[in-house]
Chains A and B, each alone.
Chain A
Amino acid sequence: MILEFERPIKELEERISGLHRLAGGSEGLQAEISRLEDALDAAKRRVYSNLSPYQRVQVARHPDRPNFRAYRDALTEDFYELSGDRLHGDDAAVRGGFARLKPELGGHPVVLVGHDKGADVKARVAGNFGMAHPEGYRKVGRFYELAVRFGLPIVLLVDTPGAFAGRQAEERGQAWAISADLMALSRAPVPVVSFVIGEGGSGGALAMCLADYVGMLENSYLSVIAPESCASIIFRDPGRAAEAAEALKLTARDLKEHGIVDEVLPEPLGGAHNEPEDAIDTVGGALGRVVSGLSEADPEALVAARHDRYRRIGERAMQDGTG
């Protein structure tokens, strides 16, 4: 898939590869090729250093963006997957289990949980495009309990448009399931480390990022509502999604500035979908560093600090006239 604003880049890339084919060993075309390569580099820089918030949302949703499975395979070894909520079923929109970080990342055993958007059409449909049902959030709640029971850090990878909005999700208590996860993370006496690797859609994302550390990839987003829905509700026009995305301050950089997240993780030029390994390495570096840093922390102190962090969040969003 080629995003609209990526078109000039893709056109240059096609011309370059066309010339490569023509050129063979001919030196005459080399000058032209290197001129185009410079232009390509400049175009990438121009486009990607000036992405609007809504363009970033589109990058965050890109189907080729590295997903849960890619991170799991690259950053951990011996992923021991667990399934089911013990009440209703197994929701493929979220996955998790025990995992060991790669030796170069510290080798810590952790409980790894993430939204799974799937890498191909079949997996995407099976995982409901990363939109979990209540059984998914209850499965996640089980993983939180296991982590606490065995004193393992919880590592979360967030990538969801939101918790699923549907009849069955309501019948099985979507709100109740999310609320229970928030309560569980609020008091889990183990390190909780979360990365927003793509979409961070509202409550369905927060159920997996109430954490001691939240890192966001540069082109990921975290928002209380999808920009399209916000535009239809506030501006009564879904076509004004770009404006809504702007107004919601949902980009990684905005959220860092507002003190909501800890770190913006730079993506390779052209976005994570162009150089997946680079993006995964960046997340891996932060993951290893943060888990190692928190692994010796006193469990009670962790809970207290997490409490204070969220208790104080958004103090500046109010005028406190209570004295």
Chain B
Amino acid sequence: MDAVFTKCERCGQPIYEKDLGARFNVCPHCEFHYPLSAPARIRLLLDRGSFEERDVGLLAGDPLGFEGYEERLAKARRRTGLDDAVVSGVGSLGGRRVALAVMDFRFIGGSMGSVVGEKVARTVEHAYAEELPLVIVSASGGARMFEGVYSLMQLAKTSVALSRYVEGSWPYVSVLTDPTFGGVTASFATAADVVIAEPGARIGFAGARVIEQTTRERLPEGFQTAEFQRDHGMVDRIVHRLALRGDIERLLGFVA
């Protein structure tokens, strides 16, 4: 798209794309939070130039020989310039070193396959070995079906890695963004000391459409939003994207 301005899908107001980019994809009129790529998220959170990417070059195999998977991977790599749906490493946040993993929804819906699980586990292990606070930003539609049970096993892999980390006294902060579902929510994303969510983010185990199909239930307005999850006691804080870095910095001031 070569237009210099676009129309907000939420409020319908025209937005200069430059403005949207400068506000990390938050609408300047209605504050709607659009998805944010992992590289942009890292720029948002970490001190300029402090990010050292780790574990680059892990590539998904096609363990089951699942029809169409190789093509999907190739396309996602081309479109995003990423190896898989997570970018990870260490860097400083407000002058404090942290281990950070950020998911990218553009890569096959942020689905969790072996590489996502492995990079998350390694980030946890870097944090453990180097005694750093751990920050993980999630965005995931759920399992990577093309990897079948290997995808399911990533819940176990990330859990065993985290179970060591939480024996120590360094904090784990999980940030849930739109959308975070399935295996990611049912494992590392909710096993944190503090769970932060972005306004309006849809968060849950099963997606609303699946629930409607299986139970024929009409779901209430705002079902599974960040606010819904906070009101049900599942999320600690809702934090505007542009305040996120400062918010985590404040938190680490208490516990890191």
Q: Chain A residues in contact with chain B, CB under 8 A?
A: 163, 165-167, 169-176, 178-180, 182-183, 185-187, 202-203, 206, 210, 222-225, 229-230, 233-234, 247-250, 255, 258, 260, 306-307, 310-311, 313-314, 316-323
Indicate if the CB atoms of B61 and A247 lie closer than 8 Å: no
Chain B min CB distance to A105 (Å): 27
Contacts known (A174-B206, A224-B183, A310-B157); A206 close to B152, Cβ less than 8 A: yes
Docked pose: A183 CA to B189 CA in angstroms: 12
Residue among A170, A224, A307 with most chain B CB within 10 A:
A224
Option from A174, A210, A311 in Cβ contact (under 8 Å) with B121 = A311
B92: Cβ under 8 A from any A Cβ: no
- B183 contacts across to A, CB distance below 8 A: 202-203, 224
B81: Cβ under 8 A from any A Cβ: no
B71: Cβ under 8 A from any A Cβ: no
Chain B min CB distance to A165 (Å): 3
Indicate if the CB atoms of B150 and A322 lie closer than 8 Å: no
Residue of B nearest to A320 (CB): B58
Contacts known (A317-B60, A317-B114); A173 close to B233, Cβ less than 8 A: yes
Docked pose: A320 CA to B83 CA in angstroms: 11
Number of A-B contacts (CB under 8 A): 192
Docked pose: A183 CA to B165 CA in angstroms: 11
Interface string of B136-164 (1 = CB under 8 A from A): 00000001011111111111110111111
Q: Chain B residues in contact with chain A, CB under 8 A?
A: 55-61, 63-64, 66-68, 113-115, 117-118, 121, 143, 145-157, 159-164, 166-167, 182-183, 185-191, 204-206, 210-211, 214-215, 217, 219-220, 223-224, 232-234
Indicate if the CB atoms of B59 and A318 lie closer than 8 Å: yes
Contacts known (A203-B186, A317-B113); A183 close to B163, Cβ less than 8 A: yes
Indicate if the CB atoms of B57 and A323 lie closer than 8 Å: yes
- A323 contacts across to B, CB distance below 8 A: 57
Residue among B59, B115, B206, B232 with most chain A CB within 10 A:
B206
Docked pose: A6 CA to B205 CA in angstroms: 36
Indicate if the CB atoms of A307 and B163 lie closer than 8 Å: yes
Indicate if the CB atoms of B155 and A182 lie closer than 8 Å: yes
Docked pose: A187 CA to B156 CA in angstroms: 11
Indicate if the CB atoms of A165 and B64 lie closer than 8 Å: no
Contacts known (A166-B217, A178-B205, A317-B60); A322 close to B143, Cβ less than 8 A: no
Chain A min CB distance to B136 (Å): 13
Residue of B nearest to A307 (CB): B160
Indicate if the CB atoms of B163 and A314 lie closer than 8 Å: no
Docked pose: A163 CA to B211 CA in angstroms: 12
- A230 contacts across to B, CB distance below 8 A: 145
Contacts known (A175-B205, A183-B191, A230-B145); A203 close to B152, Cβ less than 8 A: yes
Option from B55, B56, B63, B214 in Cβ contact (under 8 Å) with A317 = B63
Docked pose: A60 CA to B56 CA in angstroms: 41
Indicate if the CB atoms of B153 and A310 lie closer than 8 Å: yes
Chain B min CB distance to A287 (Å): 21
Indicate if the CB atoms of A314 and B145 lie closer than 8 Å: no
- A250 contacts across to B, CB distance below 8 A: 148-149
Indicate if the CB atoms of A224 and B152 lie closer than 8 Å: yes
- B205 contacts across to A, CB distance below 8 A: 163, 165, 169-170, 174-175, 178, 203
Indicate if the CB atoms of A206 and B156 lie closer than 8 Å: yes
21 contacts between A and B (CB under 8 A): A165-B214, A167-B215, A170-B205, A174-B205, A175-B189, A179-B187, A186-B163, A187-B163, A187-B164, A203-B187, A233-B145, A248-B149, A306-B160, A310-B156, A311-B161, A313-B157, A314-B117, A314-B150, A318-B118, A320-B57, A321-B59
Residue among A166, A169, A186, A316 with most chain B CB within 10 A:
A186
Chain A min CB distance to B121 (Å): 7
Chain B min CB distance to A16 (Å): 40
Residue among A180, A185, A233, A249 with most chain B CB within 10 A:
A249
Indicate if the CB atoms of B148 and A316 lie closer than 8 Å: no
Nearest 7 CB-CB pairings of A with B: A321-B57, A165-B206, A186-B163, A175-B185, A317-B63, A317-B114, A182-B159
Residue of B nearest to A202 (CB): B152
Docked pose: A185 CA to B157 CA in angstroms: 12
- B150 contacts across to A, CB distance below 8 A: 258, 260, 313-314, 317
Indicate if the CB atoms of B58 and A321 lie closer than 8 Å: yes
Chain B min CB distance to A78 (Å): 32
Indicate if the CB atoms of B61 and A317 lie closer than 8 Å: yes
- A203 contacts across to B, CB distance below 8 A: 152, 155, 182-183, 186-187, 205
